[in-house]
Chains A and B, each alone.
Chain A
């Protein structure tokens, strides 16, 4: 049995060696400096399709960030489908989540769950499978798998095969023997590694590899090897594909094999360790027009996507940089003024009305596909596709907006940006900063 992990197919010397013992459990003090958390953003995305005709899903996917900086994700698949399977999977996933969040080392947590889970008498298998992923603040990943398809780790677009340690757990109702026998005992697999920027961890329920089973192209189902090459192909085609999207693509593909009537619950979770995507939102003219140049410089120097939210603001930047601002007259919306374009900006919108609508959309989310496509929705999409968002707010008061004859009340820019930033932080787990100029 191996007691270290190496990444078999990695071309570089294996990084993130991590001993397989519980002394490196999440709560252990950190001796080595890991990659700085600030530089790495962990995106968790998942997608799920219920078995056709079932009212409830029999798979459960949960994830959360704990106060001490751990990120825990659990996928559990209950035996069978429908509500009974869903209850077992929920029980398993919630238990796992709770134990790991309470700092119980992942291996012990898994053993407790195994001993608690009921066992199916006829088939001698537990009523629910699970994959538990625990990532600490230093990006060290620990994974325990029980009976789910093996997870996939993609590093630099190559699949790596972490070495896994088999843990035998005595199952309830089976006579105890020593040493334990691999066939009568439950086999769990433990692995650990240190995540590097760009790593992707993909795990799924058996609804994915078993999709299409019995059909002419896949008599035995899609199969793990084919699933793995599909994942690699997706990433090769779109190297920065988000976790959300990749999970969705896999589930859609499996669903296609099932002829759009899922034979089983299909669930996929993806964890993507990536450099944070930065977004700059400039809104409002500076209080003092001497600072117009500063605003334009902020705009040019920013390393990331840039949005200008406000016609006057855009005009100022355009004037300073000698770039025209053009209003786009396609798709005029009765509620939100049209977007414009300017070289170097990913989006230019009107200010206050659009921001007001953005706040409203963020409050109503997260199903944005129900809303009409307009500049505000476009801006929301940019916000949600980013991890770190810097708002720079000009504080000059627009006299024209203070006119009492205006038919609508226009909010103060500062307040509305604050509201948007706190929604992004609390509901969408983004990092934001606001600066006034």
Chain B
């Protein structure tokens, strides 16, 4: 269905992101629909550095296939993955 496509999601687990709600994001795996299994690769990261740079928006941050998502939420990330997998 998605051929060999995988989407790489990097979630920041640095201090600023963690207190701004990033702890939830690390549980992303529990929210991934089964049809996507094997097509989403989740990785945690120490502070990505965006929090120190006001122009990138607000914590928490996630990077989906290279695209930075600020004020990330689980539904927000899922939506991005959907886009990347070409489901919509």
11 additional A-B pairs beyond A352-B15, A401-B15, A406-B16, beta carbons within 8 Å, are: A314-B46, A329-B29, A337-B23, A338-B44, A353-B18, A353-B19, A398-B16, A400-B51, A400-B52, A403-B16, A406-B20
Q: Closest approach, in angstroms, between the C-beta of A345 and any C-beta of chain B?
A: 12
A311 near B15: Cβ-Cβ < 8 Å: yes
List residues of A whose CB falls within 8 A of some B CB: 311-312, 314-315, 325-329, 332-334, 337-338, 340, 350-353, 398-401, 403, 405-408, 410
Q: Closest approach, in angstroms, between the C-beta of B27 and any C-beta of chain A?
A: 6
**A408-B59 Cα distance, complex, nearest whole Å:** 14
Q: A337-B18, A406-B19 are in contact. Are A312 and B46 (CB under 8 A)?
A: yes
- Which chain B residue shows the least CB distance to A350? B15
**A340-B16 Cα distance, complex, nearest whole Å:** 17
The answer, yes or no, to whether B26 is at the interface (CB within 8 Å) is: yes
Secondary structure call for the A interface: loop
Contact of B52 among A315, A329, A333, A399 (CB under 8 A): A399
Interface centre among A353, A400, A410 (most CB of B within 10 A): A400
List residues of B whose CB falls within 8 A of some A CB: 13-16, 18-20, 23, 26-27, 29, 42-47, 51-52, 58-59
**A426-B32 Cα distance, complex, nearest whole Å:** 48
B18 near A350: Cβ-Cβ < 8 Å: yes
- Which chain B residue shows the least CB distance to A312? B47
CB contacts (< 8 Å) of B59 on chain A: these are 400
A325 near B46: Cβ-Cβ < 8 Å: yes
B13 near A350: Cβ-Cβ < 8 Å: yes
Contact of B47 among A311, A332, A406 (CB under 8 A): A311
CB contacts (< 8 Å) of B16 on chain A: these are 398, 400-401, 403, 406
A410 near B26: Cβ-Cβ < 8 Å: no
A407 near B46: Cβ-Cβ < 8 Å: no
